[in-house]
Amino acid sequence: TMGYTPDLVVGVWVGNATNEAMRDVTGLSGAGAVWHYFMRTVLAGRADMPFVRPSGLEAAEVCALSGLLPTEECPYRRQEWFIAGTEPQEADAFYRRVSLDAATGLLANEDTPPQRVISELALDLPPQFHPWARAEGLLLLDDLLLASGSQGDGAAAQSQAPLRMAAPDAQTLYRLSPTLPPEAQRLRVEAVAASADLREVTLWLDGEPLATLTAPPYEAWWPLAVGEHEVWATAVTLQGEAVRGTAVTFTVNASEE
């Protein structure tokens, strides 16, 4: 349990030196209780000390979901503190205004009667956040595109690609750490498919197969190696059709001693 005041930081650990599990002791009833007693005792009779804002910080309003600058579509905003000069410069792109057909719940098109067109906010999220969004009952742009058979444009069209890389991000720069063991320096490689109609997905790195998987998540872990690398995915559909996704390049630099 960790806690602090403006002039005192206290950490308490309660456990067995043999690393054996504690019995009928939780963090709240063990370390938490000790920390609470110590702080109450040490600070007894002292005046409350206010927290003083450190110099060099700037407040900025951000969109709560992305942490980027809010647009008109962003419904939830909050104030965050940043080191001066590190405030976000990009606008939020998670919230997208879409037109739906009120009768079908699908994206409206040129055949939708005007009286049935309604405006809604949809979320254009990376694939790894889709399960969370669906569990929360949020409207996903990718789901609308799939249900409506629409290719969309821009980022939406990219998210509708039949097979694409979700990780790593294109043009990302990684650096090896001199303090971490090699087995702790691995990169997650993941592909996502717009359809479940796949027999298998193979992840490729620098022309060599990394893993072949028959069910999502289509991911594997690769030990970082210095150099410029290229990763992509191929798939075979249930009908035997071969599909190849767009390749993504990234760089791994040597550690700085």
Report pLDDT digits (tens) over 124-145. 998 888 888 888 889 999 888 8
- Structure-token match 């002039």, residue found: 7
Judge whether residue 256 has pLDDT over 70: yes
The residue count of the chain comes to 257
H or E stretch at 154 = helix 154-159
SS3 169: coil
Distance CA 88, CA 172 (A): 19
pTM metric for this prediction: 0.49
Question: Hey, what's the torsion of the CAs at 60, 64, 67, 70, to 10 degrees?
Answer: -70
pLDDT for residue 17 = 84
Region 42-61 average pLDDT? 92
Query: What element of type H or E holds 41?
Result: helix 31-42
pLDDT in tens, 23-34: 877 777 889 999
Domains contained in the chain, CATH given: 2-42 (no CATH), 95-159 (no CATH), 163-253 (2.60.40.10)
Q: Is the peptide bond before 217 cis (omega within 30 degrees of 0)?
A: yes
Distances (CA, A) of 131 to 41, 127, 140, 195, 217: 46, 8, 10, 15, 12
Neighbours of 136 (CB within 10 A): 8
Query: What percentage of the chain's residues is helix, strand, coil (to nearest 5)?
Result: 15, 40, 45
pLDDT confidence of residue 136: 87
Residue 144 CB neighbour total at 10 angstroms: 21
Average pLDDT over residues 146-164: 55
Residue 105 pLDDT exceeds 70: yes
Contact by Cβ (8 Å): 158, 236: no
pLDDT digits (tens, 9 = 90+) for 182-232: 888 999 999 988 766 788 999 999 999 999 999 888 999 999 999 999 999
